[in-house]
Amino acid sequence: MLSIMKQYSEEFRAEAVKLALEGESSVAQVARDLGMSAWTLREWMKKHREKSRSEEPAKPETIEQENRRLKRELAVLRQEREILKKAAAYFAKEQL
């Protein structure tokens, strides 16, 4: 039996775990949306929890740091929303 192993970047893994932990969808749904197995995502979540326990507590963000971080996140979300709007318009046009 031929096994196909996908290689995922650390950034992808971190984002997938974040979606599973903070999102409102189930782990299985997040995994389906990302095109991966729920088992793999659960393993990543387990490793994340273990790593989080072993690390020292992070220093709390200052208001300025949090503000910069939130502005960056907002900019990314706005870009993603614009891309999705354009894609939706494109596919709506294709169906006509």
Summarize pLDDT for 56-88 with one digit per residue, the tens. 666 788 999 999 999 999 999 999 999 999 999
1 pLDDT above the threshold of 50: no
How many of the other CB atoms lie within 10 Å of CB of 21?
Answer: 12
d(CA 15, CA 23): 11
- Integer angstrom CA distances of residue 86 from 32, 42, 62, 74: 24, 33, 36, 18
Looking at this protein, which amino acid is placed at residue 7?
Q
What per-residue confidence (pLDDT) applies to 94? 82
Closest listed residue to residue 15, CA positions, set 45, 57, 43, 53:
45
Identify the three-state secondary structure at position 60. Answer: coil
Of the two residues 24 and 15, the one the predictor is more confident about is: 15
Global pTM reads: 0.51
Mean pLDDT of 2-14: 77
Radius of gyration from C-alpha coordinates of the chain: 18
What per-residue confidence (pLDDT) applies to 87? 92
